[in-house]
Amino acid sequence: MGVVDASLQDERSHLETGQHVGQQQPSDPERPKALDGVRPPMITAKRHRPLRVVFYNRSYYPDFGATGQLLTELCEDLVARFGYDVTVVAGMPTSAETTIAPMSWYAPVRREQRNGVKILRAWGTLKPNRKFTGRLSNYLSYFSSATLASLRIGRPDVIVSLTDPPVVSLTAIAAAKVTGARFVFLCQDIFPEVARLLEDFQNKHVEAVLATIGRFTVQQADRIIALGETMTRRLVETKHADPRKIRVIHNWADTAAIQPASKNNAFAREHGLVDKFVVMHSGNVGMSQNVDVLLDVAEQLTDLPDVVVAIVGEGARKAFLQEEAARRQLSNVRFFPYQPKARLGESFATADVFVVSLKRGLAGFIVPSKVYGVLVAGRPFIAAIEADSEAAQIAREHHCGLVVESGNRQEMTQAIRTLHDQPDYRARLGANARAAGLLYDRPRAVEAYRNLLEETVS
């Protein structure tokens, strides 16, 4: 597969199963109110109090993780815009802009509050995630504390479980049964497929347990939220999810917070990047993003002295990449820490082109949330990813990026050269990206979540 100009690709076909919640669609008057095998909506009298919703996920404010940041925005908007009563059973941040008071195993649950959202902070270990043993310790310690925190959630109307860690859905399902709440599964990642990225993950028994938990979770859910059509298909094919339960709500970016801006900004000036052609990876530098490829690409671009490959973020793979770049004397590769939200707009504006990459075999099991921030920043991107991934579909449908084969260094290098040498073409793709980003704006996504939650209980 060669470099694909998004404007030359056929329009993607839409999956028959699942339903988009975040976009305007005509209602189906023939759709039955209750379907065989699908739990019917809760019959309640008119509610005279705010909807009570509890979310379970380790990552939450002030964690830098994308899932935690998105969940924080969602919960705070549900409170601010719709007056919901929202509680989050969250863990300790693994990396954060703002520090919080430490916790101890003998006092594993602490009450906090931020912007109207109640937080039940659950203690957990903070071992490096690169190895299976460290991740298992983090999973089980948070899982145990979150289970104890369930004793303090009251009687919610809806309980929503995310996938950090995948075992927390068991606690959420149990809490829903005890309290009589409806259970919604918000699938950010599909396990055990994602867990196979760990270098020492070779335990078939653990993999079987995670697969069983995944199937049990989708079976118990009243509604399932998938991040796109490919993820919907993966849930149906690998977890036997009932497609009638699935609703598609894409992740989002805040178009008010991130806007197209001049490259001559404080971040670019501070790091000497104003006059450089910046190829940027921004976000998690982990096992799934396949960032290693960028070092090989940088090595092939040394004949272009203005090109800088900027890797912005943190993650399990960053230390190795820094050592490898130093060993190979790649002076055109620069590393930067996670940028606080206040500087994210400047950081994004510094890029001329972004790279959104994912290891082969992960399309639909993970959806790179960074693509939505790239869109609203008005910058083109190279989707180094499988053709049926959400990022590749967006690039083709909205003509805002180039699609190359996942892991293909030659194709990525050629795509960068093309965008480097054709500034008008690059600007056109960037304008298309901003227009596409408006379709994935934060208020629209939050409205979609609100509609789904109301549908679940009404």
Cα dihedral: 23, 28, 34, 37 (round 10): -70
- What's the confidence (pLDDT) of residue 15? 34
First to last CA, the chain: 48
In angstroms, what CA-CA distances link 268 with 255, 277, 331, 347? 21, 11, 17, 7
Torsion angles phi and psi, residue 289, rounded to 5: -80, -15
- What residues contact residue 334 under an 8 Å CB cut-off, 6+ apart? 271, 308, 309, 310, 311
Yes or no: is domain 32-251+441-457 CATH 3.40.50.300?
no
If we measure between CA atoms, which residue out of 260, 256, 259, 317 comes closest to residue 283? 317
The C-alpha angle with vertex 439 and arms to 436 and 443, in degrees rounded to 5, equals 140
> What gap in Å lies between CA 219 and CA 238, rounded to an integer?
12
Q: How much is the CA Rg of the chain, to the nearest whole Å? A: 22
Residue pair 294/300 in contact (Cβ under 8 Å)? The answer is no
- What residues contact residue 76 under an 8 Å CB cut-off, 6+ apart? 114, 115, 116, 117
β-strands 401-404, 4-5: how paired?
antiparallel
Any idea which residue has 């490096």 for tokens? 128
For 94-116, b where at least 16 C-beta lie within 10 A, e where not — what string? beeeeeeeebeeeebbbeeeeee
> What gap in Å lies between CA 452 and CA 298, rounded to an integer?
44
- Quick check: do 32-251+441-457 and 266-440 share a fold? yes
Extended strands (E) in 39-181: 52-56, 85-90, 109-114, 117-122, 158-161
| Largest CA-CA distance found in the chain, in angstroms, rounded | 70
Torsion angles phi and psi, residue 54, rounded to 5: -120, 130
Peptide bond into 62 cis (omega under 30): yes
The C-alpha angle with vertex 338 and arms to 70 and 126, in degrees rounded to 5, equals 75
- Determine the length of the chain: 458
If we measure between CA atoms, which residue out of 388, 384, 391 comes closest to residue 433? 391
- What's the confidence (pLDDT) of residue 205? 87
How deeply is 299 buried, as exposed, middle or buried, from its count of CB atoms within 10 A (0-12, 13-18, 19+)?
middle
- What's the confidence (pLDDT) of residue 232? 98
> 321: helix, coil or strand?
helix
> What gap in Å lies between CA 271 and CA 312, rounded to an integer?
12
> What gap in Å lies between CA 246 and CA 221, rounded to an integer?
10
Yes or no: is domain 266-440 CATH 3.40.640.10?
no
Any idea which residue has 């839409």 for tokens? 14
Extended strands (E) in 297-397: 307-312, 333-336, 353-357, 381-384
- What's the confidence (pLDDT) of residue 45? 45
| Domain residue extents for the chain | 32-251+441-457, 266-440
Residue pair 251/376 in contact (Cβ under 8 Å)? The answer is no
Torsion angles phi and psi, residue 55, rounded to 5: -110, 140
> 336: helix, coil or strand?
strand
Tokens of 31: 């759709």
Tokens of 319: 């230390």
DSSP conformational letter for 313: S
**How would you write the pLDDT of the chain (458 residues) with one tens digit per residue?**
444 444 333 333 333 344 554 443 433 333 333 344 455 555 444 567 899 999 999 999 999 889 999 999 999 999 999 999 999 999 999 888 788 999 999 999 999 999 999 999 999 998 887 777 888 899 999 999 999 999 999 999 999 999 999 999 999 999 999 999 999 999 999 999 888 766 556 678 888 999 999 999 999 999 999 999 999 999 999 999 999 999 999 999 999 999 999 999 999 999 999 999 999 999 999 888 999 999 999 999 999 999 999 999 998 899 999 999 999 999 999 999 999 888 999 999 999 999 999 999 999 999 999 999 999 999 999 999 999 999 999 999 999 999 999 999 999 999 999 999 999 999 999 999 999 999 999 999 999 999 999 999 98
- What's the confidence (pLDDT) of residue 197? 67
- What's the confidence (pLDDT) of residue 38? 53
Question: In 10 A of CB 395, how many CB atoms?
Answer: 31
